[in-house]
Amino acid sequence: MAAPTLTDSQGDFLTRGVQPNVGMILYNLTQGTDGPVTAVTQTTITATGVTWDTADLYRICLINGIEISTIEHYLNVAAGDIIVALAASGQCDCNSSAWALSTDTTVGLLAKLNIIDAAAYYNCKCGSTQFSSGERDNYLKWMSEQLRQLRDGELDICQGATGKNFPAMGWAQQGHSEFQMAQIIWNDILRNHA
């Protein structure tokens, strides 16, 4: 029977900053459920609507509700840039290819562009990323080129499309969720620019 509380004897949750009732989210990655953290001890966490079986994997979003709202605001603002580029080439009215859209297990091209756009153009603190001015300039140039390719139809997200280009960056890691993508970018910054 599923337990209502996550227990991890190595959790050290209080020391790591997990707080109840401030909007932090606990994810059961195995079951694909999540909910706001409502109770915390050093080794246990309870979240609304989340149950646990032995060996379930978890992730905790260590930001509060206000920070989540701020990030969502910047992601919504940044989405406008992408929508305008898609509309210019008529790609808003098509069935999008699977690789362009996010699912429960993958992050599609449009979500990736949205995250980078929010971080580079709008200084969104997604994943606490802090870009140097050189890094920001590189991301801005890359993002501008992706938006231009969407606008001109060179990068075509429509199902069955034959656009000649695809988005690419200078590393091969891929993420399957927004958190993994943010972590890959953060790890790259720490590895190459710290």
Lowest pLDDT segment from 96-100, 169-173, 179-183: 169-173
Residues 96 and 55 in one domain: no
Boundary (domain end) residue, out of 37, 61, 85: 61
- Each residue of 92-147: pLDDT tens digit? 888 888 878 876 666 788 888 888 888 888 887 765 567 788 888 898 899 999 99
Whether the per-residue pLDDT at 34 is higher than 50: the answer is yes
Kindly indicate the confidence band of residue 44, based on its pLDDT and cuts at 50, 70 and 90: very high
Count how many domains the chain has: 2
Residues 46 and 101 in one domain: no
Residues 19 and 81 in one domain: no
Q: How far is CA 180 from CA 91, 123, 133, 137, 154, in A?
A: 27, 19, 24, 23, 28
Residues 55 and 70 in one domain: no
**Which tops the pLDDT comparison, 62 or 42?**
42
> What local confidence, expressed as pLDDT, does residue 18 receive?
92
Residues 170 and 126 in one domain: yes
**Which tops the pLDDT comparison, 172 or 125?**
125
Q: Mean pLDDT over residues 17-46, rounded?
A: 92
Residues 80 and 50 in one domain: no
Boundary (domain end) residue, out of 40, 61, 82: 61
> What local confidence, expressed as pLDDT, does residue 5 receive?
95
Beta-carbon contacts of residue 103 (< 8 Å; ≥ 6 apart)? none
Q: Mean pLDDT over residues 10-28, rounded?
A: 90
**Which tops the pLDDT comparison, 52 or 1?**
52
Residues 53 and 79 in one domain: no
Residues 153 and 170 in one domain: yes
Residues 47 and 78 in one domain: no
Residues 167 and 111 in one domain: yes
- Each residue of 81-91: pLDDT tens digit? 899 998 888 88
Kindly indicate the confidence band of residue 1, based on its pLDDT and cuts at 50, 70 and 90: confident
Task: Please report, as a single letter, which amino acid is at residue 115.
Answer: I
The residue range of the domain holding 40 is: 5-61
> What local confidence, expressed as pLDDT, does residue 160 receive?
76
Q: Is 126 exposed, middle or buried (0-12, 13-18, 19+ CB in 10 A)?
A: buried
Residues 10 and 30 in one domain: yes
Cα-Cα-Cα-Cα dihedral of 6, 11, 15, 21, to 10°? -10
Whether the per-residue pLDDT at 163 is higher than 70: the answer is no
Quick one: tokens of 31? 């079951």
Q: Which residue has the tokens 């960056």?
A: 169
Residues 177 and 96 in one domain: yes
Boundary (domain end) residue, out of 17, 36, 61: 61
